[in-house]
Amino acid sequence: MATYVKRAFKYRFCPTDAQAAELSRTFGCVRKVYNLALAARTQAWARQERVNYNQTSAMLTVWKKTEELAYLNEVSSVPLQQALRHLQVAFTNFFGKRAKYPRFKSRKKSRKSAEYTTSGFRFRDGKLTLAKMREPLAIVWTRPLPEGVSPSTVTVSQDAAGRWFVSMLCDDPSVQPLPATDTAVGIDVGLNHLLTLSTGEKITNPKHERRDRAALTKAQRRLAKKVSGDGANRAKARRKVAKIHARIADRRRDTLHKLTTRLVRENQTLVIEDLSVRNMVRNRSLARAVSDAGWADLRSMLEYKAQWYGREVIAVDRWFPSSRLCSACGALRERMPLHVRTWTCDCGTAHDRDVNAAKNLLVAGLAVTACGADVRPQRSTPGGQSATKQETPRRKP
């Protein structure tokens, strides 16, 4: 039996008042069950005991029988069970040292979502009806689901801007490996230009946040002047800020999707730099610009799309001196200040800083493919200094 890629298709929908009320209750119950189970597991952890999913599921049955938590029976049990499964995954990642200890969900800050498995929804004739609801959701079908495919999991969510979304996880038979090619490209990310390719092409940074900065600043000032609390005026001002953030994020995501799809389709091998974006955003001077560029999302998209279509993404060590290394003769410069955008090597070759870095990344990535992990080109300066020496912890814009 053929195996297909699991792919989520996300759509907006407009719930009726009754549906919105039911979903809001479900979100609250999911958050309550998650927090209760986390508290129980935390208390057991303090006693040097472990509580698994089956035990928390039994606790949920007991909670529903109490007078205080009887309202949990009013919503579908499927999202509540899924919340316990998500908590189990969180603890598995914690014990595997892949994540921090799970945190409690906040009513104001946490994502509002509920996950339904096949027993919690009905999908017939292109209409989706959730448990505890009589009418199907009014989904805006911006694109059809793959022909003959039904969702295995449905996740309903509401963002901070008040928009409703439904995400359907399906097997997508249309995702197949692309024909192999012999093309490879080195990719250097930056702030002046979002990407610089080893071919010499430079892709302009759209700077989506800067386009809406004035409107965002105005909305944030109005929000700051509102009295703290749950007042209607403050909630309205908060949604105004959230809508601007959502518009910025949507444009950024659309740009990155189009760009990464093009790169994956055109190249068999893509070489990038293994940047630590989390550490870079701690720099107050660069945090806003780095976050707006979306480097982490860019890498994530490249990696999963390459896996879908039979391509390869190689990450070169972040300390590889790509900017200071001459791509023509291999000479390594001692220093390369950030304001130097063009330079001429002693061999007479004139370099654009970013294009030169992309070319060096490509060579280093191909060396990794040919010789194994952590292998870099062994180049030397005229004075005998190895080109593999780690660069000082700086990052060019």
pLDDT in tens, 335-389: 888 788 888 888 888 888 899 999 999 998 888 776 655 444 333 333 334 333 3
pLDDT in tens, 3-42: 788 999 999 999 999 999 999 999 999 999 999 999 999 9
Q: Do both 144 and 197 map to the same domain?
A: no
Q: Do both 67 and 101 map to the same domain?
A: yes
Domain with 37, as residue range(s), is 5-172
Is the predicted pLDDT of residue 114 greater than 60, yes or no?
Answer: yes
Report yes or no on 388 lying in a domain: no
Output the domain CATH number for residue 312.
3.30.420
- Residue 212 falls in the annotated catalytic set: no
Q: Do both 188 and 298 map to the same domain?
A: yes
- Alpha-carbon distance of 242 to 257, in angstroms, equals 22
- Residue 297 falls in the annotated catalytic set: no
Q: Do both 117 and 199 map to the same domain?
A: no
Q: Is 70 exposed, middle or buried (0-12, 13-18, 19+ CB in 10 A)?
A: exposed
Element (H, E) at 9: strand 5-12
- At residue 300's C-alpha, the angle toward residues 274 and 306, to 5°, is 100
Q: Is the C-alpha dihedral spanning 212, 214, 220, 223 positive or negative?
A: negative
- Alpha-carbon distance of 375 to 368, in angstroms, equals 5
Radius of gyration of the chain (CA): 26
Q: Do both 150 and 264 map to the same domain?
A: no
Q: Do both 59 and 164 map to the same domain?
A: yes
- The chain-wide mean pLDDT, for the chain, equals 89
Contact 315, 333 (CB under 8 A): no
Q: Do both 100 and 188 map to the same domain?
A: no
Report yes or no on 231 lying in a domain: no
Q: Do both 33 and 104 map to the same domain?
A: yes
Which of 22, 115, 209, 273 is labelled catalytic?
273
Q: What are the φ and ψ backbone dihedral angles of 272, each rounded to 5 degrees?
A: -125, 175
- Residue 230 falls in the annotated catalytic set: no
Q: What percent of the chain has pLDDT over 90?
A: 70
193-197/202-204 β-pairing: antiparallel
Report yes or no on 242 lying in a domain: no
Position 371 scores a pLDDT of 64
Overall number of domains in the chain: 2
Q: Is 332 exposed, middle or buried (0-12, 13-18, 19+ CB in 10 A)?
A: buried
Which of 68, 65, 58, 66 lies closest to 37, judged by CA?
A: 58
Q: Do both 139 and 190 map to the same domain?
A: no
Which of 188, 266, 312, 352 is labelled catalytic?
188
Position 9 scores a pLDDT of 95
